[in-house]
Amino acid sequence: MLVFVDANLVLFAVPKTGSTAYHLALRGRADISLANKAGLKHMTARKFDRDFGPYLDRAHGLRPTRAAVIRDPLEQLRSWYRYRQDPKRKGASNSAAGLSFDDFVLATIADDPPPFARVGSQFAFVTDDRGAVRIEHLFAYEKPTVFRAWLSDRLGQKIDTKEKNVSPPAPTPISTEIEAQLRAARADDFALHDAIMDASGYLLTTL
């Protein structure tokens, strides 16, 4: 998460949406950079509303507008799978080594996912307990030029990023049946991403 005081902006870091590249490109410009601890870097909208947002308001008089990038839910899971298939992670409690992508997907939508499949939901990341979206500016990962143009205009500088944290390749075929189960279980995630894409990669919401 990055906070820019003059731009009155907080940039959320939804996992597996290229957030690390933006953190590296902008951390020198940000007034507050939460980047080293995953729980802080990937702070959800709910936690922001509960803890960090009130702190910024109380301590600094800041009520920043919010922005985040959302990725196609299936492609986000493919990125998670490749990351947790990484041979360097073999033996870790959250390694998915040896699992097929179908098995990984089923594990992520289980009622009690095992450690390797606890990847969360993008919809849950950006909403409150009632399912209301709590981030005003939502961008599609698949339309990076739209996000960079908006961010450049907001910050008053050109934004250049380089790919970071790219996982090694791994085959990710998915059966028709498993994909249908995923789409049913993550219907809100797919609907939100579709809405952003239908809006040409940028969806402006109201809080």
What is the three-state SS of 44-59? CHHHHHHHHHHHHHHH
* Model pLDDT, residue 32: 94
* Model pLDDT, residue 27: 84
- The full set of domain ranges for the chain reads 2-204
Neighbours of 129 (CB within 10 A): 8
Q: Are 136 and 205 in contact (CB under 8 A)?
A: yes
Q: For residue 189, what are the contacts with CB-CB under 8 A and spacing of at least 6?
A: 73, 121, 122, 123
CATH class of the domain comprising 2-204? alpha beta
Digit-coded pLDDT (tens) for 142-156: 999 999 999 999 999
Strand (E) or helix (H) holding 73: helix 73-85
Rounded to two decimals, the pTM is 0.94
Low-confidence ranges of the chain (pLDDT < 50): none
Q: Are 10 and 60 in contact (CB under 8 A)?
A: no
**Structure-block tokens of residue 130:** 């009632």
DSSP symbol at 167: P
* Model pLDDT, residue 89: 67
- C-alpha 61/C-alpha 78 separation (Å) is 40
- C-alpha 35/C-alpha 27 separation (Å) is 9
Q: Of 71, 79, 75, nearest to 96 (Cα)? A: 79
